[in-house]
Structure 1
Amino acid sequence: MWDGFANGKGGFTDGPYEIQNPEDPFKDNFYKYGFNPEVGSVGIPVAATIRATMPREGWQIPLFKKLPNGYTEEVPNPIWQYHKYLPYSKPGKLHDQIELYGTPEDLDDFCLKAQLVNYIQYRALLEGWTSRMWSKYTGVLIWKTQNPWTGLRGQFYDHLLDQTAGFFGCRCAAEPIHVQLNLATYFIEVVNTTAEELSNVAIEASVWDLEGACPYYKVFDKLSLPPKKVVSISEMKYPKSKNPKPVFFLLLKLYHVSNYSIVSRNFYWLHVSGGDYKLLEPYRNKRIPLKITSKTFIKGSSYEVEMKVLNKSKKPDPKTLTYKNNFAVRNDDSDFDMTSLKPIPDTRTDLKQPTGLFQRLYRQFSRESDGLRVAEINGSDGGVAFFLNFSVHAAKLEHEEGEDSRILPVHYSDNYFSLVPGEEMSIKISFKVPPGVSPRVALRGWNYHHGVHTVL
């Protein structure tokens, strides 16, 4: 069974199964064989899953213990220890990856920052492997995708079937044709795993700072991508510029020159060498305006929702023709089949529930237009709408503390996504509702942490 694996003679090693420096999977010494049958990393779920599966004593986040060598040791509570919690630090080797965003205040803060790390970890694992595909590596298997119990390590979806951000980071990296940043060299690469050459394509690379400005913009055109090859395009030189910002966003888009349809889109948040992400903490107070247009299809208990999310903080730059993110049609199986579903108008009035000022401003802009439901989240700041994620809930007016209102499982075409100023993204959501339950779709995000915003 193992012949042909690893060294070709049946000898192999597996792992690692722990937190990694994101750039390490791109390095030659990360794994010495060609095929790795098992590799994994961290996998904390969202706070709602912790509350739904553990007693109150298990809602306590790890203690961040400072060590004399400058590293941090995470000390989890006994319940997390029993559930095999895998820490986000390796004292002496790797600084705590959650603490790079600032010391978490509570369970919600900890789990949100953990999702940021989950996304980076699994995307880097897969992109590192594909960066050396056909030159060193032949393949890799992730261990594991799901926990058969309420475990707190290596998983793409938790015991309640809710995906972690690591799932979407992995899915991004596993595209058949994929544009990526080599985190070890900062060269832009394109991986073409298909048997077809891709020609007449271009790459748009844009850097965005925390003020909403775009200090770096490059287009690499007239590209041809041979089949089953990794092509190194060019170095992304913004970090070597005169005054790079300590924290910045990078958006890469591979598109067809003929019609600007997107083949691959990849969004990174990065810091300069030796830095951290702590400047993202005050960035949470930015109020980035959003417009969400939705159309709902229903058949029996099955719902399909098409969401278009627009970052309204800036009009699209005339030189940027890919802002609408019209993705090229792929000839593959899809999770979404709307051909047998009929659209339904949304005639519900807004749910009456306690809200703050920001939510009340939101509700003033919720309306229907031309059969579509349109919701607008008010804001006057410019910048990237960062780390947005949808969730589906039962439309109950009141919930006890710790009660899980989510409807699970839900399939998302994407989640934990970000939009640069003027950019629009289409998201498809698919789920089934239990008998007698009316669903609502909620939006959270890094800039939208003051409560849940019902957008449908």
Structure 2
Amino acid sequence: MRILSNVLLLILLTAVLQNAHAQTCYELNSGWKFKAIGSVTDKGEAISTTGYALNDWQPAVVPGTVLTSQIKNKQVPDPFYGMNNKQIPDIYRTGRDYYTYWFAKEFKEVKAQGSNQVYLNLRGVNYSYNVFLNGHQLNEQLNQGMFLRRSYNITKWLAKSGNNRLAIIVYPPDPVGNPNGGQGGDGTIAKNVSIQYTAGWDWIQPIPDRNTGIWDKVTIEKTGAVRITDPHVVTLVPGVRMPESAQEPAIIQVSAHLQNTTGKAVTGVLKYNLDGKSVAKNVTLKPGAEIDVQLSDYSLKNPKLWWPNGYGPQNLYHLNLQFVTAANKISDQKNIEVGVRQITTEWNSHTQSRQVNVNGQKIFIKGGNWIVSDELLRFSKARYDAEVRFHRDMNLNLIRVWGGALIERPEFYEACDKYGILVFQDMWGSGDCNGRWQDPKKLEDQATRRKYPDDHALYIRSIADQIKMIRNYASLAIWCGGNEITQPDDILKAVRDTLMPTLDNTRWFVDFSNSLDMSKTEKGTNGDGPYGIQHLSVFWAHRTYPFNSEVGSVGIGDYESLKRFIPEKNMIVPDYNKSTRKEKVDSVWDYHTYIGYEDFIDKYGKPKDVKDFAEKAQLVNYDQYRGLMEGFSSHMWDWYTGSIIWKTQNPWSAMRGQMYDYYLDPNACLYGLHSGSELKHIMYNPTDSTVSIVNNDVESQVNNFATVKLYTIEGKEIPVAATPCDPEVTGVTKLLSIKKEVAAAATDKGAFLALRLTRRDSKLISDNVYWLADKNGEYSGLNEMPAAKLIITAKPISKGKIAVTLTNSKQGPVAFFNRISLINPKTNERVLPTFYSDNYVSVLPGEQKTITLEYDQPVLSPKVSVRGWNLKERMVEVK
């Protein structure tokens, strides 16, 4: 009996092991080594054997680029600091061999048993490469293209001992482009199917190695005889839905591509489980067969829907898709997080622009343009999460991934699903490189550049592959053919008429980012801008493009941010000449693509030094981005269906267009947007002195109450209005004009305007404080403010969460523009990233505000720093 039990146990263990083998995937992300091709004379067949010595090879970063490995090994200085990037040899001058490298990695994996299979997956290599394993070349011809996943069945090449060596030689793009100061340099980088900005842009310097390397994940995947690839989940949510209501059913459609890589026929079941229900289909695959399988539609009862940020919850269902053989063994499975929603678009004839609908509800688009997380492609799930969370905290609902960069990695879309951020995804190409304009800095003429890239077939294959990679994410909303230009006609036709209908037919495809199919003016034109600093009246009164894909302003960080990449000797205040409208700027500032504030900072008083300059810049930052989004929102569904800020982040230490710096330290731009982009927001129009409420919510608002107060510089309260109001659903409601009251209070020294929207039960909906200029358009009174009488407490709420309460005295002035920072007491530096429920806050006399701080870093006994316009920095212990 014991023998029988042992036999049964052995059989059970074997089955478990086989199933475990059939479902294992792991990443090869450590232990890599690399060496320049000029120092290696042997071939890949030899290098990829475990007996080949790698003693003089250096550690490599994979995923990563040649440059990230060189930085890790301290072969080159940090290119983000000062002028260090200029010290690193540029590939245009060194030649391609200088950045052509071998990468090698040893890993343990025993030979598969029975019909089990083992695959090597490469999610992204730039630009061309050959792959060797245990003395064998895996690819028949040179692989090319930065954006094409590759997979190799390595089952027969695994070593019997289980000790394996992988060797990959990676060649840079060709051509590499001349970084001559043009957008994308001389433009020839676009002849490749690769990133364009690596040859430089007006917001970034050239990347010396052009991102050459194994830049994305390398994984080992183990399956049974049948493998599932590129599953596709479509959700259909007919009708107009309300977020909190009981729902009519949604339709779930699931399909997958199946591969049988063995010499025997395999019979089994393709099935999935969703919300406790199972859908299945019997399948037989002939030896070596590949087939597409469509499962029956499933009607999901009372679905929990996925909504964009602010409109409702971001519900996700877990879908487990399996192929189970006739012997009841899992051959392969894929786990997919499904957001049940339907995205549609329609032409809004009133605004003359495209309108985006989610679950039947129109969504006013408040978006930000995104380049990549890191110019050196040092991507991580944690960083993606932090950056997308910042966009959620700005109260935005869309990110446009710009076409001169890349289709982002799956982890980015996971974060967007989590935080409710729709994605407007450009495909590769930009008007700058691809010939929309004549440009003396480009090597080839406009007509020639219109034919880029050189290999159209590679481009089309790459687009097809990347569509399959990310099409299941609920956040992915719009596909775009390119930045400010269409691709060549044959590519456009293939993508629009074949790939999209076949691979992803539920999303809007727009041919390019400022297409007339997106929006047009009365003159029948479309475009973008304005860029750079603007008077607030421009955002409110100047009508731009009805769905503006790029509109932006300034955005430097504060002094702590600047210190991270600007040497002390270069901390020189920019000098703006109002008569010539030119600015004298330090060379390091210029290299880091500083964009000028003109005389806007001087209105707060001539800055004494860079610290003073950067502090006053935050006032401008806040005002600019609050005003931008308020101005566009004030014409919601009248002039506009949406606007997308150029831009909300930088992939390196730049000095323009960013709500937080490369190091994930937010500046006042973020919190100005946080205020101006509120779902329900009470606001002041500087052009006509009216107070209004913009309400993006799809549900009716009743029993609300608006209060309007003015405060003198000294802190005297001047009540203006208190009125019940029921803001219009998805619209703008004008309340009253306060022109006379503002003129009376602000003429001499300026004043503070406090707007508040509450429910009748006093629960706060929107709280908005403006600082108003004097009759000369300056903020003279701010420099005469008495010191704030602020009591500050900091208490832990839970692990990684702190509540900071600011209490202002009734007898004092407004405690104005207070920056809260979480500090590591060991380094006396900010804990990054930290997420603040609000920041740069003003506290009215006799009132208090509580700000919540959240962080993930292991910090022992953190402290909280608070400093404001009229408050010297105070350090508070968390008690």
Q: Does the pair score TM above 0.5?
A: yes
CA RMSD of aligned residues (A): 2.0
- Asked whether the 8 Å contact 1:66–1:72 carries over to 2, the reply is yes
CA distance in 1, matches of 2:849, 2:585: 38
The verdict on how the C-alpha distance between 1:6 and 1:274 changes in structure 2, with shifts beyond 3 A counting, is farther
- Asked whether the 8 Å contact 1:253–1:266 carries over to 2, the reply is yes
Q: Does residue 1:393 correspond to 2:823, yes or no?
A: yes
Output one character per residue of 1:289-325: Cα deviation in whole Å (capped at 9) or x when no partner: 11223320443xxx100122110233xxxxxxxxxxx
CA distance in 2, matches of 1:98, 1:125: 18
Q: Equivalent of 2:556, from 41, 44, 53?
A: 44
Deviation at 1:147, TM superposition (A): 0.8
Aligned match of 2:427? none
Output one character per residue of 1:123-157: Cα deviation in whole Å (capped at 9) or x when no partner: 01000000001111110011111111111111000
- Asked whether the 8 Å contact 1:196–1:226 carries over to 2, the reply is no
- Asked whether the 8 Å contact 1:307–1:428 carries over to 2, the reply is yes
The verdict on how the C-alpha distance between 1:274 and 1:24 changes in structure 2, with shifts beyond 3 A counting, is farther
CA distance in 1, matches of 2:532, 2:548: 15
CA distance in 2, matches of 1:177, 1:185: 21
Letter of the 2:870 counterpart = N
Q: Does residue 1:7 correspond to 2:513, yes or no?
A: no
Q: Equivalent of 1:293, from 767, 772, 793?
A: 793
Letter of the 1:307 counterpart = V
Output one character per residue of 1:138-189: Cα deviation in whole Å (capped at 9) or x when no partner: 1001111111111111100001111110110011111111100111111001
The verdict on how the C-alpha distance between 1:266 and 1:242 changes in structure 2, with shifts beyond 3 A counting, is closer
Alignment of 1:34-433 (within 5 A): 34-65=546-577, 67=579, 73-89=582-598, 96-221=599-724, 223-237=725-739, 238-241=741-744, 244-257=747-760, 259-283=761-785, 286-299=786-799, 303-314=800-811, 382-396=812-826, 405-433=829-857
The verdict on how the C-alpha distance between 1:199 and 1:276 changes in structure 2, with shifts beyond 3 A counting, is same
- Stretches of structure 2 that go unaligned for 5 or more consecutive residues are 1-509
Letter of the 1:391 counterpart = S
- Higher normalized contact order (CA 8 Å, seq sep 6+, divided by chain length): 1
Deviation at 1:8, TM superposition (A): 8.0
Deviation at 1:242, TM superposition (A): 8.4
Q: Equivalent of 1:17, from 531, 543, 559?
A: 531
Q: How many residues align?
A: 363
CA distance in 2, matches of 1:263, 1:243: 26
Deviation at 1:273, TM superposition (A): 4.3
CA distance in 2, matches of 1:312, 1:99: 30
The verdict on how the C-alpha distance between 1:60 and 1:198 changes in structure 2, with shifts beyond 3 A counting, is same
CA distance in 1, matches of 2:526, 2:733: 28
- Asked whether the 8 Å contact 1:57–1:79 carries over to 2, the reply is no
Task: Give the SS at the match of 2:534.
Answer: coil
* Higher helix proportion: 2
CA distance in 1, matches of 2:876, 2:807: 16
Deviation at 1:15, TM superposition (A): 1.2
CA distance in 2, matches of 1:242, 1:80: 39
Identity %: 35
Letter of the 1:211 counterpart = E
Deviation at 1:224, TM superposition (A): 1.6
CA distance in 1, matches of 2:769, 2:781: 18
Q: Which stretches of structure 1, 4 residues or longer, exceed 6 Å deviation after superposition?
A: none
CA distance in 2, matches of 1:51, 1:16: 30
Letter of the 1:289 counterpart = K
CA distance in 1, matches of 2:796, 2:745: 49
Deviation at 1:30, TM superposition (A): 3.8
Aligned match of 1:322? none
CA distance in 2, matches of 1:161, 1:242: 39
- Asked whether the 8 Å contact 1:433–1:439 carries over to 2, the reply is no
The verdict on how the C-alpha distance between 1:162 and 1:281 changes in structure 2, with shifts beyond 3 A counting, is same
Letter of the 1:280 counterpart = L
- Asked whether the 8 Å contact 1:384–1:418 carries over to 2, the reply is yes
Task: Give the SS at the match of 1:79.
Answer: helix
Output one character per residue of 1:90-117: Cα deviation in whole Å (capped at 9) or x when no partner: xxxxxx1100001000111111100000
Task: Give the SS at the match of 1:279.
Answer: helix
CA distance in 2, matches of 1:245, 1:197: 41
Output one character per residue of 1:13-33: Cα deviation in whole Å (capped at 9) or x when no partner: 111110000121110x341x2
Letter of the 1:37 counterpart = S
CA distance in 1, matches of 2:732, 2:745: 30
The verdict on how the C-alpha distance between 1:243 and 1:130 changes in structure 2, with shifts beyond 3 A counting, is closer
CA distance in 2, matches of 1:455, 1:117: 30
The verdict on how the C-alpha distance between 1:441 and 1:241 changes in structure 2, with shifts beyond 3 A counting, is closer
CA distance in 2, matches of 1:97, 1:45: 16
- Asked whether the 8 Å contact 1:5–1:11 carries over to 2, the reply is no
CA distance in 1, matches of 2:851, 2:558: 20
Deviation at 1:408, TM superposition (A): 0.4
- Stretches of structure 1 that go unaligned for 5 or more consecutive residues are 90-95, 315-381
- Asked whether the 8 Å contact 1:42–1:88 carries over to 2, the reply is yes
TM-score of the pair, normalised by structure 1: 0.76
Deviation at 1:72, TM superposition (A): 5.9
- Asked whether the 8 Å contact 1:440–1:454 carries over to 2, the reply is yes
Moved more, 193-202 or 56-65: 56-65
The verdict on how the C-alpha distance between 1:195 and 1:66 changes in structure 2, with shifts beyond 3 A counting, is closer
CA distance in 2, matches of 1:150, 1:247: 35
CA distance in 2, matches of 1:312, 1:455: 21
Task: Give the SS at the match of 1:53.
Answer: coil
CA distance in 1, matches of 2:564, 2:730: 44
Letter of the 1:226 counterpart = E
CA distance in 1, matches of 2:703, 2:574: 51
Letter of the 2:518 counterpart = F
CA distance in 2, matches of 1:8, 1:47: 41
